[in-house]
Structure 1
Amino acid sequence: MDELFGLSMTYISATMLIAFLAIMLVVGILAWRNRVMLRLGLRNIPRRKSQSVLIVVGSMLSAVIITAAFATGDTISSSIRSDAIVELANIDEVITSSEDSEGFGQPGPPYFPEEEFLRLEESLRGFDQIDGMVPHMAETVPAFSQTTSLSEGRMRVTALDPSRMDGFVPLTTLDGDVVSVEGLPVDSLYLNEKAAEELSAQAGHRITLHIGREEAEFDVAGVVRPGGMAGQSTSSTALLSLEQGQALFDRQGQINIISVSNRGGAQDGADLSRDVTKHLRGLLADSDVAAELKGLLNQPALMTAISEKRDFTRGQTREQLDTLHRELQEDGVSEELVQALSDQVVQGDVLAAIESLDMPADQRQELLDNAFDLFDDLASLSVFEVKRTLLDIADVAGSGITSLFVMFGLFSIMVGILLIFLIFVMLAAARRTEMGMARAVGAKRSHLVQMFVFEGTAYDLMAAAVGTALGLVISYGIIGLLNYIIGRLDVDFSFSYSVQATSIIAAFCMGMIIVFATAVVSATRVSRMNIAEAVRGVPENIVLGGEPSFQDRAKLLPLSIGRPLVFLWQGLSSIARGMFLRGILRSLSSVLWVIIFPIWIVDFAISLVRFSLPYMRRGWLVFLLGAVLYLGGVYSWSSAAAFTLGMTLMILGFGLMMRLLVAARPQFTEVFGLILALSGVLLVPYGILNGQGVTITIGALLLASGAAMAIPLISGKLPRRPQTIDRHAFTLVGALVLAFWLLPEDIGELLAGELQGDIEMFFISGICMVGAAVWTVMYNADLMLQGLTILTSRVGKLRPVVVTAVAYPMSAKFRTGLTLAMFSLVIFTMVVMSLLNDSFANTFRDTERIAGGWDIEGRVTFTSPIDDIRASIADNSTLSMDDFEAIGGYTFAPLTVRQVGAESQVWESYALQASDDEYLAASEYGFLTTIPEYRGDEEAVWEALRQDPNLAVIDSGAIEQANEDFDSAGSFTLDGVSITEDLEGPITVEVSEPLTGWEREYTIIAILDPPADPVGIIASRAGIDVPSVPEIPITTYRFRAAEGVDVRELSKGLEVAFLANGMETVVLEDQIADLVSFFRSFYNLLIGYMGLGLIVGIAALGVVSMRAVVERRQQIGVLRALGYRQQMVQLSFLLESSFVTLLGVAIGVTLGFVLSNNLVTGFEDQLEGISFSVPWLQIVGIIIATYVFAMLTTYFPARQASRVTPADALRYE
């Protein structure tokens, strides 16, 4: 894996390593200068070994998550790269005809004269970056072994020129002998290992190749290893000489592929691909056409449009557009310009840039057509960087999987951060008296921070090391599970575990930095204390201190911006005063700030937060930031993340402002609240009538907030106590945030319209919803305690145990809130994933709906079609027409398409499924929407297609919102069509087959149901049975078995009966079941991965329980002295943990259910058949596992507490 989030892994690992070393250097210097604080910080680690182990376990999660993600991405990238290198060997580029196919609907690269290869070979003399080129031809035909009676429906026949194998890996037998197709007898060939395996063939066996209606028999000369010219290990390949192949397929003097080998080996040859491709395209391109293109494109407005397109691209495409933009302004036609113009991605971007020009429509269309034609005429041969492309795909796949696992792991990382914060709060509480005495004898706050930083760093290093090692183990397990999942799809590919050193370094340093940063923030917080209260041991009261003046805070910003200069000046000044060590360190800090630029950014961000914090506490700045995000998300960025975060911040800011108003002027606030509520009452209906989402939002906020402020005036009870005011304010904020996030999707669209969101919304929603729920619960903790007291009034002897178990966590709101948040977050994510997984699986349980009522699909080769399948079945002794209820077929042909009357008139790639009448008559596919004439009558749609060859239906992938989730036949999308709206009328599209020049119009009358398996434009074959188009045979058949017939046996029978045609069949029900199983297994893998956060939550309970035993030792003694037995003390601690665990589980499960239901409901209009369902076994399993392991972690501290004797406890301290 070379990149992550667009950044080089080398850069990431180097940056993280430098940051890590810088942290260690700073901590080391502080430790050297404050050895007393170092000893005080480290001495506690070995004192409580079990507590230290729990802290390390909880703190290691960030390193585990990151390491597992990086190692998994590395393995996937490395496996694909290795597979590409092994399979292609020395083949770096391939050259084929620029045409898409030999003819309308024909697969495979078209042929071209062999003389073109000879001319290219002559042109390359003296070009030393290529060490070999092989002209060859490739066809796919059925094969049958006369010796073993086994068949292979897709045998790739490769005929190559043996005299030009220099630079390529030679053909090698399984015994290691080098062989060649040169001198092979006319009736002999070689098979690669895969072909020999399929046919159980070996040297001397006799096989038959079916070529159209002819047969050719060959002796197997030997079996060769796959790779390079011998074909892939997953593809059956037969090897002949070029002379044999041209005679066999009647293609004298023709080839269809040229394979190119760059200088160097199989791996480093790909590094030259860009230079070689540029040179080849320059030789193959028509310079006159390139000059015409340059003149056409060199227009100021178009150059600006191309430059704007460049801003939305990345990687090689961005570089090519840069080159194009630069070279268009230079004189002449350079090789770089031709290379850029020959790139198909660049061609698409240029056409899109033309389409965006602000000019009369007829002029724009003329410019578009001219550019399209010139691009088509630029070169008769195309160069494809096959190996470089596969290596890039490997990097993208590795980076994508890593990003996916990191995104889903963010919840666990967040939980880990909360635990670290909780740990330091607990440690500070345990040592509060000690810290107070240290402050009393002269220690400063900075000394206390350093003490905790030293201890945290020690935990941090151990946690990062253990977490990285455990992450590698977990990633190995993930790869094993992925291989198992892929293996069930009968795919001949597996991942080989591989991890780069850069990933391990980056993961270790990232995990360490995350924990260290959290530890520093936590240490800073807990260092604030009242010395007298700390020494006396009275309850904790965090001292926030006075608010710094505006001038003091304003100084922070310029200081952070010029921090390197400040460090440099301090360093030089120290050196001048003779403090050389201090001066050198300060000077090095200056250099460090510049080298590790992110540190500089973080420094400025911290200064900005410190400057803004007072205003954020007052609420108005939070509200303002939320408003900016809200308006920007709706009107500028079309971002769901910005909109939802903005709304959340606006609610929070409004609540903070109202809290201050209520505390300062209660009566004024109540009158003001009435005014706000009345304003909201007026604004909400006005916004609804006019369709103004912003007005509705503002009105609803005013109504809710105003009503909350006016309630005391109406009831006559004025809140005076600060605790009551806080409860009202923060409960209102939490309830409003929850209400907003739990709104159904249609109401959200009413507020903001359709916005774009991705996987980050899952993380944002979880954090906001769980945070609001925990916030609301904890600010109403005393009410919960009162309710529990009433409920347990008749429990008898257990009542004091239950009340005590609940009272303690509710009195320590901060700790309990953090623990609740941990459990709730993890349970929330696992529940949502489980529910969505099960609900979406419902869509694919109806196999008849997906497969249109068909049972079997059979495909034959284009070169060996079936003339009349019904007559062939009737004449076959092993099959009977009585076994079939329906038989249909179609041909799949790639085309270019554009929509008549749409804003875009660029020809886009798509496909045509030309179906026979039997297929159209027997298909039972449903429709997402139809035009009004056919609404509610699906059979009438299929009948209309049979009767009128001008009519067609199209798959849902042609709708922009749908093609992200389902397979699409190409890049074409319908303009003005939404997946949530019905078709108002027919849509006319033009289709074109560039090779034959065939064009026609189709009228789209319906859009297929998204789960339906056909892709492309589905129309009658009668539309292509015209004189201008060569006869196109049916290559794909669908069969519906008669009732009572064994579908799987029938599938095997079809393969045997149509062996000569190379028919390969698949039982559609089994295929769909395999795909559903794959996605279910992958989702379950992600659920298990996110479940790592449960380890943190359970470790948190363990830390809290162990701390509670120590902290409440005297309380335990008093309770025992009052009559509590050992079992009652133990039960009290277990009930306390049960209460926190079950409350966290309840919050997570409830929010998960509501959010999942809303999401599924929102998809019902887009995906017919989806329904909300609950995998009760999995959900209950998650809850039980969570509770059991939480109780196991709590059991030992609880047992320890129960063994405390009253005398010992009362003597304590």
Structure 2
Amino acid sequence: MHEVLILLAVVALFAVAFIIISMLSDRITSKMSFRNIFRRRANTLLVIAGSMIGTALIVGSLAMNDSFERFIYSQIRQNLGEIDQVVVTSAESERGYRALFSLDELQPLIELLETENLTDGIMPILAREVTAGKEGNARSLDRSLSTSAAIIGVEFEKLREFGSEGISFTEFNSSNAQDLPGAIITRELSETLQIGVGDTLEILIDEAERVLFWIQLPRVVVTGIADHEDLLGYSGLRQGMENSRIFMTPEDARRVMKVGMPDSYNELLISNRGDYLSGANLTDRVVSLFGETGLEEEFRMVPIKQQQVRMATQGNVGLLFFALSAFAIFAGILLLSNIYFMLAEERRTELGTLRALGYTRKRVARAILYEGFFYSIIASAVGIGVGILITRQILGGFVDLTAGISMLLPVDNAAMMFSAFERTFVFFIKPESVFLGFFLGLLIPLAIVSFSGKRISMMNIVCAVRGIPEELGKKPRRQLRLFMYLLLGLAAILCYSGAVRQSGAVLLSGLTMGLLLFPLSFPFKRRRLIESFCSIAVIFLIMFSNQIPFIAEQSAESIPLMIVKGFAILFSGLLLVVYNLKTFDSVFSLIMRNGNNRSPAAKVAIAFSSRNRLRTGLTVAMYAVVVYIITLISIIPYSQEKMLDKSRNDVFIGFDATVFPVGMQSRLPSETELLAIGGIDDVAVLESAFLNIRLPSGRISTIPAYILDEGFSENTVHRNITLWEGIPDLAQARQNPWEYLITRNNAIIVSGALLSDLLPGDYVELILPARTDFSAIQAVFSGREEVSDDDISLGYFRVIGQIPETTFSFFNGVFIPKGVIDSDLLAGSYVDSTMLLKTSNELSLSDTRTEVANISRRTNSLAFFVDDVIDLINATVKGIIDILRSFLYFGMVVGIVGIAIVMFKALYERKRLVGMMKAIGFTRRMVFTSFLLETSFIVILGLVLGFITGTLTTYEMFSSPAFQGFELSMPWNQFLFMGLTFYIISVLSTLVPSYIASRLSPAEALRYFE
């Protein structure tokens, strides 16, 4: 995509160079065109305002991408530095930590890398997550006394020389009066525990030792404190991006971790030649060399830097905003077409005179081109500044959104976490993005003005000088009809290709093109009626297209098909309205036949709009296109928000709150202390483990399994379940399905969100993995499906119910009774425990929330209430949609500027007509009213058309398999507010020309001729 933009910008650059050279060779025409832009300064300002929209939106999209890319790069530099690859063992030791290795085992790789001269740093480390606390407090669950941290055992001399720049840090000195290992800690850890240089730090390595008080924990002495940027930002492949880190020598790290194997490490860090970004370009060669060493069975190389750089350079954020702005840019193209068509018509008499004086057609076309070029250059320069302002505003919206989210999170240091985001997430735009935005913004208006100049240069001189409307000649008419026939042939080819290949996007494209072009290709007497019928036929075709099996199947995944459907509905609606403008005039005449004295003003307003079909159609389309996309991105999240509100009882499977441990130093509170809170009515402990499930098709999947005991009563669990009809008591709702499940050892209930192809009544096999590490968790997210010979089959189970796929819940997987898995077998697997709470009315919800938060804080666990989750999700979705919507609101400037230009042009074109109207009895008020009514008619038509086509498109999307189960909800209040706002602003923008027209003197207006 970026390469295409660069190519277009280069084309625009050559076009600009060609125009400038042409202007230098024809100074008379260029001087005349330059003076024309100052003839009507108000009109010039409006033209520039309309022309700069495209540049502003393009620059805004590129700046958003640059800002997000810079943010990701800053995170890469902060957390990885110059680390490009990490080598670890293929196997994991106990508790999921990487197994140890000797540096001699990797000597073949190290020697090969040094020979090839691809690296500027190779450094082994010993890394592990631990709990660190003040002396005597490492076992404490009080976060002010102990916290999670990462021990990094590293040779400091190698650390200083690692990478192209090396790492500067406080001079390390391990000697101390207590003869304990010395360590440098990060400032974050120092501030968390309130410790300084010379203090003793206690380390809890194994969580099991937390309750073994007779075992003395290892201690280290703090010999230095350093800022994050002065140390290695990496915390180990297993630990991620932990800011609390403890650096010591490898020997001291082994002593603290009680590792008896000398010269042992668990990670090898590799820095490629180049800086922290360019080094990733050598990753593929380094990985290839690793494959040549024959170490792949025992070790694996993780290209950690390359993965994150690729994520940053994909430009998805910029593409998102560019895709949204495409609709506003398209509306801007319509506006520019309208502007330059009207400009060409306005200059028609003058240009006809020039032709009569000997100007060639090329020079006449250049006169319009030069004038448009001056407008475009100024507009693109202004658009850059406006685009930068838009981006700054949107980035501020993202920062405000994260700040608001941090206020909703029940985490003590949430605000601190998001403040770091605020500091690093700042506005940034590359110089090349400014260049691209400027020239891409020039390309569109230059293309349009070139076409307008070419079109006006083909005028008849006599008709142009005398101001006589010019009809299309026989030759152009034949050429146009031939072009239509070619398009119809292309439509037929698309239809055939789509049917044969069973491509929904291609087939619907062909059918839509054929139906809409068919009435325009033949000289029908009732073309308007036929075109209206075909437009309605296209809309019905799209709305019922899911009745075709292969289109219904592709609707769930094919983005091109969704785009084709949306554009087909939008353009069909536009053609239907534009071709029936005279129908509006006729209907209005019938309604106003016996009206009051405002009827003449209203009839004049509608008549002018209906007569200038091209101008009115383009202006209506400007509004409709932008309102269409705003409607789409408003309805979908609003419907999801309403469904989320309805799913309140399903979020925590019927409970009102959940408490779960976080980190090594966390534990669940006791049921007794929770039930002692007056606002808690019931407490249940939900255990979960990862099981393999063999589906009826034979496919194996790894999913979470939730183990239910008798604590799950009928008042505390899902009711919205699709049940198997093979059990009459369940099918007729005589027995609660969860009670039935808990009392059986051969029944399960599954979540449709993970197992949508598993239906009630199916038989499945459940398998307990023999693995005791974290690979089962990784299998869920990676989609890896495998079964080992050591895995244990738990038997076959009947699916008695399925929770619908659209149900929003924190617990998705398979629900099984507790007796299914023997406790001894379960003890060898990775089991997680979560507490679920049911509230009562004995205490207010706020008091209950406070009491639960106090208890969870003492145990370092995290408590979420269902209302908190719903508020958090709704606030996040609403915030993001508001940001996207605000970006699109700027696109409405297109319509507002467009209607203002139309009314200003109407004022100058109709001066003589206004004089005639006043001469036959029109008052100032009636003239003013006719202009306002014309504005209102066009604006309301565009707004209503955008809302209707957007709603129809959303309805069609919700009827597709991709949205099966979702309910469509309409944000009528948002639509009403948005429509009134756009309407009022549009009307206000035309008050000046309306007022000027009403104040014209009949004699002055009748004498007017430009």
TM-score scaled by structure 1?
Answer: 0.71
Query: Aligned residue for 2:763?
Result: 986
Q: 2 CA distance for matches of 1:262 and 1:1012?
A: 44
Q: Deviations over 1:788-840 (max 9, x none)?
A: 12322333221111111111111111101111111111122212221222111
- The worse-fitting range, judged by mean Cα deviation, of 1185-1194 and 1154-1163 is 1154-1163
For 1:761-795, what per-residue CA distance to the aligned partner results, in whole angstroms no more than 9, with x for missing partners?
Answer: 56544543333223222323233222212322333
Deviations 1:647-706 (Å, cap 9, x if unpaired)? 21131244346x44xx4xxxxxxxxxxxxxxxxxxxxxxxxxxxxxxxxxxxxxxxxxxx
Q: Which residue of 2 aligns with 1:525?
A: 455
Aligned equivalent of 1:160: 153
Aligned residue runs from structure 1 range 828-907, under 5 A:
828-845=628-645, 846-860=647-661, 872-874=670-672, 883=680, 885-893=682-690, 899=695, 901-902=697-698
Q: Distance in 1 between matches of 2:830 and 2:487?
A: 67
Looking at structure 1, the residues matched to 255 and 708 of structure 2 have their Cα atoms a distance apart, in angstroms, of 35
How far, CA to CA, are the matches of 1:512 and 1:59 in structure 2? 9
2:189 to 187, 191, 195: 195
Are the counterparts in 2 of residues 96 and 109 from structure 1 also a CA contact under 8 Å? no
Instruction: Tell me, in whole angstroms, the C-alpha distance in 2 between the residues paired with 1:1136 and 1:250.
Output: 85
* Number of the residue aligned with 2:214: none
What is the SS of the residue equivalent to 1:1114? helix
| Residues 349-360 of structure 1 aligned to structure 2 (within 5 Å) | none
**Cα shift readout 1:1020-1043 (whole Å, capped 9, x = no counterpart):** 566564767753464331321431
Q: Deviations over 1:77-100 (max 9, x none)?
A: 12111211121123222222323x
Percent identity reads 21
CA distance in 1, matches of 2:520, 2:129: 73
Residue 915 of structure 2 contacts residue 1000 of structure 2 at CA under 8 Å; is this kept in 1? yes
Q: 1:740 to 1:1033 in 2, by over 3 A?
A: closer
Cross-structure match for 1:478: 394
Specify the SS of the correspondent of 1:260. strand
Q: Which ranges of structure 2 fall in alignment gaps of 5 or more residues?
A: 211-216, 407-416, 773-787
For residues 250 and 939 of structure 1, what CA distance do their matches in structure 2 show? 56
Q: CA 1:474/1:393 → structure 2, altered by over 3 Å: closer, same or farther?
A: same
| One-letter identity of the residue aligned with 2:511 | M
Corresponding position of 1:111: 99
Report the AA paired with residue 1160 of structure 1: F
- Judging changes above 3 Å, is the alpha-carbon distance between structure 1 residues 409 and 849 closer, same or farther for their aligned structure 2 residues? same
Aligned-partner Cα distance in 1 for 2:256–2:750: 40
What residue is the counterpart of 1:1039 in the other structure? 836
Cα separation, partners in 2 of 1:1030 and 1:57, compared to 1, 3 Å: same
Pairs within 5 Å for 1:333-732: 378-396=296-314, 399-490=315-406, 492=418, 493-494=421-422, 495-543=425-473, 545-546=475-476, 614-618=481-485, 621-633=486-498, 635-636=500-501, 638-639=503-504, 641-656=505-520, 659-660=522-523, 663=524, 722=525, 725-732=526-533
Letter in 1 for 2:484: R
Match of 1:1179 among 975, 978, 990: 975
Partner amino acid for 2:325? Answer: G
CA separation of 1:951 and 1:522: change in aligned 2, threshold 3 A: farther
Conserved 8 A contact 2:130-2:203: no
Check the 8 A contact 2:109/2:293 in 1, yes or no: no
CA distance in 1, matches of 2:950, 2:650: 29
Pair 991,507 (structure 1): closer, same or farther in 2 beyond 3 Å? farther
1:110 to 1:52, Cα distance in 2 relative to 1, 3 A: same
User: 5+ unaligned residues in a row in structure 1: which ranges?
Assistant: 286-377, 549-609, 664-721, 960-973
SS of the residue corresponding to residue 651 of structure 1 reads helix
1:197, distance to aligned residue in structure 2 (A):
4.2
1:116, 1:1051 → 2: CA distance? 53
- Does the residue aligned with 2:651 lie in a helix, a strand or coil? helix
The residue identity in structure 2 corresponding to 1:809 is S
2:997 maps to 1201
Counterpart of 1:775 (choices 575, 578, 596) is: 575
> 1:1164–1:145: structure 2 CA closer, same or farther, 3 Å change rule?
farther
Q: Is 1:137 the equivalent of 2:131?
A: no
- 2:909 maps to which residue? 1111
1:252 to 256, 260, 263: 260
Work out whether residues 146 and 193 of structure 2, in 8 Å CA contact, stay in contact via their aligned partners in 1. no
Find the aligned partners of 1:121 and 1:873 in 2 and give their Cα distance. Answer: 54
Q: Contact (CA 8 Å) 1:134, 1:165: kept in 2 or not?
A: no
> Which residue of the other structure, out of 915, 924, 930, is the alignment partner of 2:717?
924
Change in Cα spacing, 1:230 to 1:1143, as seen in structure 2 (3 Å) is: closer
Measured after TM superposition, the shift of residue 1195 of structure 1 is 0.8
How many residues are matched?
942
Q: Secondary structure at the match of 2:276?
A: coil
Question: Residue 30 in 1 paired to residue 17 in 2?
Answer: no
- Asked if 1:274 corresponds to 2:274, the answer is no
2:607 to 783, 786, 807: 807
Whole-angstrom distance in 1 between the partners of 2:260 and 2:203: 19
Q: Are residues 842 and 209 of structure 1, via their aligned partners in 2, closer, same or farther at CA, if it must alter by over 3 Å?
A: farther
Query: 1:877/1:527 Cα in 2 relative to 1: closer, same or farther (>3 Å)?
Result: closer
In the alignment, does 2:847 pair up with 1:1052? Answer: no
TM-superposed CA distance for 1:749, in Å, is 4.9
Task: Specify whether residues 861 and 443 from structure 1 end up closer, same or farther in structure 2 by C-alpha distance, changes over 3 A only.
Answer: closer
SS at match of 1:545: helix
Measured after TM superposition, the shift of residue 54 of structure 1 is 0.6
| Structure 2 residue 86 is the aligned partner of structure 1 residue 94 | yes
CA root-mean-square deviation: 3.7
Question: Secondary structure in 2 aligned to 1:110?
Answer: coil
CA–CA separation in structure 2 for the residues paired with 1:938 and 1:277: 62
Q: 1:1070 to 1:256 in 2, by over 3 A?
A: farther
Partner SS for 1:1037: strand
User: Paired residue for 2:293?
Assistant: 283
The CA distance in 2 between the partners of 1:862 and 1:245, in whole Å, is 21
1:1146 aligns with 2:947: no
- The question of 1:228 aligning with 2:26 is answered no
C-alpha distance 873-179 of structure 1, shift in aligned 2 (>3 A): farther
Q: For residues 930-1079 of structure 1, what are the structure 2 equivalents within 5 Å?
A: 931-933=724-726, 942-943=738-739, 946=742, 952-958=748-754, 977=757, 983=760, 985-988=762-765, 992-993=769-770, 997-1000=790-793, 1003=797, 1005=799, 1006-1010=801-805, 1011-1019=808-816, 1025=822, 1031-1032=828-829, 1034-1044=831-841, 1045=843, 1046-1059=847-860, 1063-1079=861-877
User: Is the deviation greater in 27-36 or in 200-209?
Assistant: 200-209
Counterpart amino acid of 2:271?
S
Relative to structure 1, the CA distance from residue 767 to residue 1029 in structure 2 (aligned partners, 3 Å threshold; closer, same or farther) is: closer
SS at match of 2:595: coil
